[in-house]
C-alpha cells in the first residue's frame, strides 16, 4: 500500500469546496436580490408612474369639462402647467414648451424630472413628476430592507458553512491520518481517536473502523510476503546450488560419454534457468520495490559479469558471445533487477540461436542484446511480451515467461524495453536507461 501522490492530488479539499459553494450561493442570492429591486424600480417607474400620470391627465380633462376652473394638479410629488390655445404661454417654463406629447426625462433646477405632455385639442397639459421622491422611496423601501436581507443571508450562510465544516472535519482529519500512515508499519492511534471522537458521525466511525481493519490485514499480508520471499529465497536456492555443484563435479571428475556430458550440460543450463526464474519471481513477488537496495553501480561491470555467466548457456553450440562497449556508464538503482533483465535477454538469445553470434552492446543510455538466431515474424514480435506466448518458435522449448518477466521489471523500475526482430535474421532487444550517467567514453 503506497501513500497517495500529493503532486497529483486535487488542490482543494472538502473545506475549500464548501467555502467556494457557500460564496457562490451568497453571491448568487445577493445578485438575484439586487436584480429584483432594480426590476421593481423599473416597473414602478415605467409602468406604475407612467400609468398614474396618464390617468391623472385623463382625470384633469374630464374634470375641466365639468368645471372650466378645474385646478391644474399641484401636489408634493407632482406639478402641472396648462396652456389654453397658446403653446407659447409665458406661464409655462421655456424648457417645457417645445416638448411634443409623450414622456420625457429632463433635468430641471438641478433635479431629474419625468415630464408627461398631453395634447387635448388646442390645449396642452404638462405634468412634472419629481423623481427624487421615487429615489427616496426606493432607498427606504428597497435598499435599506435589502441590506437587512443580505445581512441575514450572509449570517445564515456563514452559520451554515461553519456547521458544514464542523460536519466534514472528522472526514478531513481521517484523510490526513490515513495519508500519514506508514504502509509497512501503520500506526492506527490517530484513526482510533477519530473513531472514538464525540464529533464523529456514524458514517465516519464506520469508515474509520473499516480503514483500521484494512490496514491491519494489509500489514499481515506484507508480513506474509516478507516471510515467503525470505523462506523461498533460502529453501529454493539451496537445492539448486547443490545440483549445480554436483553437476560441475561430475563433469570435471571423469571422462563422461558424449551423451552423459550432454545431459549434464542440460542439467547445468536448466539449473541456471531455474536460478534466474527464482530471482525474477522473488523480485516481482515483493510489494513494489521493498527490500531492493538502490545504489550507484557500474553498468559495465554488470554487463561483463552477465556476459561471462552466459557462456554456460551456449555450451556445445558454435556461438560466439561478444561485447561492444561504447561508454563507461554508472546507474543509480537496483543492480539485481538490471542483472535479472539482462540475464533473461541473454538466455532468450541463447535459446533461439544455434549458430552465429550474440552481441551485448552498452551505450550511454542503453544496453542491448542482439543475436543472429531464428528471429520472429512481425506478428510474434508484437506479442513477444505476452505471458506464455511462444508463437512459431514453440519448438525451441522454454515456457514463454522470460520476456514477460523483463517487461514487468521494465515497467516497475522505469527502464523501457523494446524488441526488433526479423524472421530468419535475428532479434535485438534494448533496455533504455534514462537516468544513466556517462563517466568516460571507451572504444568499442
For residue 443, the model assigns a pLDDT of 46
Torsion over CA of 302, 307, 313 and 316, rounded to 10 degrees?
A: -160
Do the bridges between strand 295-298 and strand 319-325 make them parallel or antiparallel, or are there none, so unpaired?
Answer: unpaired
Q: Taking a C-beta distance cutoff of 8 angstroms, is the pair 417, 381 a contact?
A: no
For residue 360, the model assigns a pLDDT of 94
Decide if pLDDT at 233 tops 70: no
Q: Among residues 385, 378, 375, which one has the least CA distance to residue 425?
A: 375
Query: What's the rounded mean pLDDT across residues 219-231?
Result: 72
**HSE value, Cβ hemisphere, 13 Å, CA-based, for 221:** 11
Q: Among residues 43, 45, 38, which one has the least CA distance to residue 112?
A: 45
Decide if pLDDT at 394 tops 60: no
Query: What's the rounded mean pLDDT across residues 111-124?
Result: 85
Among the residues of 328-396, which ranges form H helices?
335-351, 378-382
Q: In whole angstroms, how far apart are CA 120 and each of 52, 115, 214?
A: 18, 16, 91
Q: Taking a C-beta distance cutoff of 8 angstroms, is the pair 331, 311 a contact?
A: no
Decide if pLDDT at 90 tops 60: yes
Q: Taking a C-beta distance cutoff of 8 angstroms, is the pair 188, 216 a contact?
A: yes
Write down all domains in the chain, each with its CATH number in brackets: 15-155 (no CATH), 292-444 (3.30.565.10)
The most confident of 44-48, 52-56, 252-256, 287-291, by mean pLDDT? 52-56
Q: What is the mean pLDDT of the chain?
A: 78
Look at the block and give the residue holding cell 531492493: 292
For residue 404, the model assigns a pLDDT of 85
User: Could you give the angle at which helices 258-285 and 335-351 cross, rounded to 10 degrees?
Assistant: 140
Decide if pLDDT at 57 tops 50: yes
pLDDT tens-place string over residues 369-385: 999 988 888 888 888 88
Decide if pLDDT at 39 tops 90: no
Q: How confident is the model at residue 200 (pLDDT cuts 50, 70, 90)?
A: low
Q: How confident is the model at residue 1 (pLDDT cuts 50, 70, 90)?
A: very low
Cα angle: 225, vertex 230, 234; to 5 degrees: 145
Phi, psi for residue 201 in degrees, rounded to 5? -75, 175
Residues 6+ apart with CB under 8 A from 310: 321, 343, 346, 347, 350, 358
Other beta carbons within 10 angstroms of residue 91's beta carbon come to 8
Query: What's the rounded mean pLDDT across residues 128-141?
Result: 70
| Interatomic CA distance for residues 92 and 79, integer angstroms | 12
**HSE value, Cβ hemisphere, 13 Å, CA-based, for 296:** 7
| Interatomic CA distance for residues 372 and 292, integer angstroms | 34
Report which of residues 53 and 199 the model is more confident about.
53
| Interatomic CA distance for residues 114 and 107, integer angstroms | 9
Report which of residues 154 and 421 the model is more confident about.
421
pLDDT tens-place string over residues 278-302: 777 777 766 554 455 678 999 999 9
Look at the block and give the residue holding cell 409665458: 90
C-alpha cell at 158: 456563514
Decide if pLDDT at 104 tops 50: yes
For residue 140, the model assigns a pLDDT of 67
Amino acid at each position: 500500500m503506497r501513500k497517495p501522490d500529493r503532486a497529483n492530488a486535487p488542490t482543494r479539499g472538502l473545506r475549500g469546496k464548501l467555502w467556494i459553494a457557500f460564496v457562490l450561493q451568497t453571491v448568487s442570492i445577493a445578485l438575484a436580490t439586487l436584480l429584483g429591486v432594480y426590476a421593481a424600480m423599473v416597473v414602478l417607474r415605467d409602468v406604475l408612474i407612467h400609468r398614474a400620470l396618464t390617468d391623472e391627465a385623463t382625470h384633469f380633462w374630464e374634470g375641466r369639462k365639468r368645471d372650466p376652473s378645474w385646478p391644474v394638479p399641484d401636489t408634493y410629488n407632482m406639478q402641472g402647467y396648462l396652456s389654453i390655445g397658446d403653446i407659447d404661454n409665458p406661464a409655462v417654463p421655456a424648457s417645457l414648451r417645445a416638448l411634443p406629447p409623450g414622456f420625457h426625462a429632463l433635468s430641471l433646477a438641478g433635479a431629474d424630472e419625468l415630464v408627461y405632455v398631453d395634447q387635448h385639442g388646442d390645449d396642452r397639459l404638462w405634468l412634472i413628476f419629481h423623481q427624487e421622491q421615487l429615489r427616496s422611496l426606493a432607498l427606504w423601501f428597497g435598499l435599506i430592507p435589502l441590506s437587512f436581507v443580505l445581512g441575514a443571508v450572509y449570517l445564515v450562510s456563514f452559520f451554515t458553512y461553519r456547521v458544514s465544516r464542523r460536519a466534514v472535519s472528522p472526514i478531513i482529519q481521517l484523510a490526513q491520518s490515513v495519508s500519514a500512515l506508514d504502509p509497512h508499519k501503520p500506526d492506527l492511534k490517530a484513526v482510533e481517536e477519530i473513531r472514538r471522537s464525540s464529533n464523529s458521525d456514524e458514517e465516519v466511525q464506520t469508515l474509520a473502523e473499516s480503514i483500521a481493519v484494512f490496514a491491519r490485514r494489509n500489514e499481515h499480508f506484507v508480513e506474509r510476503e516478507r516471510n515467503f520471499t525470505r523462506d523461498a529465497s533460502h529453501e529454493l536456492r539451496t537445492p539448486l546450488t547443490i545440483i549445480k555443484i554436483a553437476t560441475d563435479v561430475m563433469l570435471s571428475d571423469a571422462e563422461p560419454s558424449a551423451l552423459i556430458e550432454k545431459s549434464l550440460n542440460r542439467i547445468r543450463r536448466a539449473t541456471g534457468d531455474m536460478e534466474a526464474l527464482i530471482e525474477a519471481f522473488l523480485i516481482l513477488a515483493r510489494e513494489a520495490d521493498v527490500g531492493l537496495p538502490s545504489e550507484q553501480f557500474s553498468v559495465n561491470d554488470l554487463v561483463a559479469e552477465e556476459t561471462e555467466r552466459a557462456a554456460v548457456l551456449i555450451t556445445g553450440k558454435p556461438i560466439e558471445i561478444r561485447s561492444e562497449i561504447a561508454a563507461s556508464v554508472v546507474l543509480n538503482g537496483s543492480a539485481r533487477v538490471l542483472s535479472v533483465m539482462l540475464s533473461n535477454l541473454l538466455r532468450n538469445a541463447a535459446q533461439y540461436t544455434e549458430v552465429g553470434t550474440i552481441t551485448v552492446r552498452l551505450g550511454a543510455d542503453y544496453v542491448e542484446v542482439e543475436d543472429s538466431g531464428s528471429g520472429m515474424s512481425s506478428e510474434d514480435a508484437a506479442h513477444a511480451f505476452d505471458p506464455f506466448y511462444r508463437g512459431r518458435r514453440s519448438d525451441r522449448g522454454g515456457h514463454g515467461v522470460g520476456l514477460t518477466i523483463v517487461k514487468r521489471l521494465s515497467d516497475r523500475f522505469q527502464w523501457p524495453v523494446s524488441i526488433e526482430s526479423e524472421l530468419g535474421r535475428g532479434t535485438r532487444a534494448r533496455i533504455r536507461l534514462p537516468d544513466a550517467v556517462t563517466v568516460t567514453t571507451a572504444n568499442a
